[in-house]
Amino acid sequence: MFLSVFDMFKVGVGPSSSHTMGPMVAAARFLDLMRASPFHFAGLRASLHGSLAFTGVGHATDRAVILGLAGFVPETYDAEAAETALAEIGATGTVTPEVLGRLNFAPANDLIFDYDRALPGHANGMILMATDAQGDVTLSETYYSVGGGFVLTEAELAAGKDTDDGAPVPYPFKSAAEMLQMCRETGRTVAELKRANEGTRRSPEALKSGVARIWEVMNGCIDRGLENDGILPGGLKVRRRAKKIHDALQAERGLNLTPPHTINDWMSAYAMAVNEENAAGGQVVTAPTNGAAGVVPAVVRYYLDHVPGASQARVEDFLLTAAAIGGLVKYNASISGAEAGCQAEVGSASAMAAAGLCAVMGGTPEQVENAAEIALEHHLGMTCDPVKGLVQVPCIERNGLGAIKAVSAASLALRGDGAHMVPLDACIETMRQTGHDMHEKYKETSLGGLAVNVPNC
């Protein structure tokens, strides 16, 4: 089993990796399918199902599909160009993807939110169709956005193709137990195992520059979030708070009467800054999802800015360790809120961040595994119930608390020797079972929980 650090951490666009990035990626894949087809096409249609239908408007799924069919992709997304394209598509009822020419696509008629029919493979399902001059469907594909920006066709999902099936890796661990055994046998850290595996796909220089780019985007997102204020889009009229909190914290610096627990406010400000940027549709890094994008960068920033002796050179080890844990969660359970609730998103992110922090603070592989387990265990059962389908309430604050839990988990693990009652593998399996048993209304449908008990207008 191999999931790259660049699979777990993708540069993309908000507000959702599963509901915004995934559908945009699916649309790009469908355009490639059309380009490879011998048929001539005249138009496009799309239908959204399950969670993509119920919370699609709040997650900008409709915009993502429209722009994806127009040729936009998350990695190179240009917000200004996107707005221009949307206006043109609305006025003409057509899109002009590269090579395929002008195609009929009037979103009001050709993009359907199907609330009645869930697709069997996953809660985040969509069907993309190409039509001929008579309007008959001549090409169709079903896609599932399975979390974290990962997209699978119906056939790929049925075949279980959600990991890299390329060249073999030297350390193909599929469980935390296997990972720890390989660490013991080789004397390597989790980050070193991960680095060796990544070496089968890219050069050391490419890995270093790629991971540095991930942190650059993460850190830039924090900085933008700490500088911007105002009201977030979507209709809830949620006010950005990260800047105000950060300004107050900076003003208090050096005061002898500042209580020790104020460090939690710093972590929350960093995490909330990211998720406010995400809610505004800005550039973020999935970590492992957009809804949980603030946790890992907040803990890295906490480490660099507040931990004595912290080193920028250790950020690569932090992110490689975090990616190893995230890969285990994705492979053995889920990182999708629509599949398993927010335990799969913020819970997974907190486990990843706890492991990364523990590693760069000198933790053994056993302590790293323990840190991840503590963080994930104390998110078990967390529902995904976004008010009005927006990635704002409770999502933004939840990232702050996820970061705080991650730091606490790493600290507890470092105080021990790595021996503990509940193995990480057992915790991941418990999360999977809990997600399976969780009622659908608590899994990113906005049909239960805070979404129905808080006025959303």
Given this model, what pLDDT does residue 37 score?
Answer: 97
Q: Is residue 194 part of a domain?
A: yes
Evaluate if residue 294 carries a pLDDT over 80: yes
Asked whether residue 11 is domain-assigned, the answer is no
* Average pLDDT, integer, range 428-446: 96
- Report if residue 4 sits inside a domain: no
Across 298-326, average pLDDT: 98
The residue assigned the tokens 């599932």 is: 144
Please tell me the predicted confidence (pLDDT) of residue 345: 97
When pLDDT is cut at 50, 70 and 90, the band that residue 228 belongs to is very high
CATH value at residue 121: 3.30.1330.90
Question: Over 80: is that where the pLDDT of 165 sits?
Answer: no
Check whether residue 208 and residue 269 sit in a common domain.
yes
Q: Please give the pLDDT value at position 162.
A: 64
Residues 122 and 184 in one domain: no
Q: 164 lies in a domain? A: no
Phi and psi at 454, nearest 5°, equal -120, 130
SS3 sequence, 81-122?
HHHHHHHHHHHHCEECCCCCCCEECCHHHHEEEECCCCCCCC
> Tens digits of per-residue pLDDT, 341-377?
999 999 999 999 999 999 999 999 999 999 999 999 9
**pLDDT score at 211:** 98
In this prediction, what percent of the chain has a pLDDT beyond 70? 99
Q: What is the CATH number of the domain that holds 191?
A: 1.10.4100
Segment 416-435 shows an average pLDDT of 98
Residues 132 and 215 in one domain: no
* Lowest-pLDDT range of 151-160, 191-200, 296-305: 151-160
Same domain flag for 185 and 142: no
Which amino acid appears at position 359 of this protein?
A: A
In this predicted model, what pLDDT tens digit does every residue of 268-283 receive, in sequence order? 999 999 999 999 999 9
Q: Is residue 398 part of a domain?
A: yes
Name the helix (H) or strand (E) containing 332: helix 315-332
| Per-residue confidence (pLDDT) for residue 161, from 0 to 100 | 66
- Are 60 and 282 in contact by the 8 Å Cβ rule? The answer is no
Is the per-residue pLDDT at 337 higher than 90?
yes
Statement: residue 45 has pLDDT above 80: yes
Q: Is 163 helix (H, G, I), strand (E, B) or coil?
A: coil
Asked whether residue 163 carries a pLDDT value surpassing 70, the answer given is: no
On whether residue 66 sits in a domain, the answer given is: yes
**pLDDT computed for residue 166 by the predictor:** 76
Are both 190 and 145 inside the same structural domain?
no
The verdict on residue 149 lying in a domain is yes
> 313 and 187 in one domain?
yes
Domain identity same for 187 and 144? no
Q: How far apart are the first and last CA of the chain?
A: 45
Q: Judge whether residue 121 has pLDDT over 80.
A: yes
* 45 within 8 A of 129, measured Cβ to Cβ: yes
| 39-63: average pLDDT | 95
Confidence of residue 256 (pLDDT cuts 50, 70, 90): confident
Residues 152 and 219 in one domain: no
Mean pLDDT of 283-303: 97
Q: What is the pLDDT of residue 457?
A: 61
User: Mean pLDDT over residues 278-296, rounded?
Assistant: 96
Q: What residues make up the domain containing 89?
A: 16-158
Half-sphere exposure of 428 (CA within 13 A, CB side): 25
Query: What DSSP assignment string belongs to 129-157?
Result: EEE-TTS-EEEEEEEEEEETTEEEEHHHH
Whether the predicted pLDDT of 456 surpasses 80: no
- pLDDT number for residue 255: 84
Question: Long-range contacts: 231-237, Cβ < 8 Å, 24+?
Answer: 232/276, 232/279, 232/280, 232/390, 232/392, 233/279, 233/280, 233/281, 234/58, 234/279, 234/388, 234/390, 234/392, 235/388, 235/390, 235/456, 235/457, 236/387, 236/388, 236/390, 236/392, 236/393, 236/456
From CA 296, how far away is CA 455, in angstroms rounded? 31
The burial class, CB within 10 Å (0-12 / 13-18 / 19+), for 38 is exposed
Q: Looking at residues 131-157, what average pLDDT do you find?
A: 96
pLDDT band at 212 (very low <50, low <70, confident <90, very high): very high
78-82, 187-191, 321-325, 353-357: least confident range: 78-82
Residues 186 and 140 occupy one common structural domain: no
Give me the amino acid identity at 105. F
- Tell me the C-alpha distance between 375 and 346, whole Å: 10
In total, how many domains does the chain have?
2
266 and 119 both lie in a single domain: no
Q: Is residue 341 assigned to a domain?
A: yes
Are 90 and 129 contained in the same domain?
yes
Q: What is the mean pLDDT of the chain?
A: 96
Q: Are residues 309 and 420 both part of a single domain?
A: yes
Render pLDDT for 71-112 as a digit per residue (tens, 0 to 9).
999 988 888 999 999 999 999 999 999 999 999 999 999 999
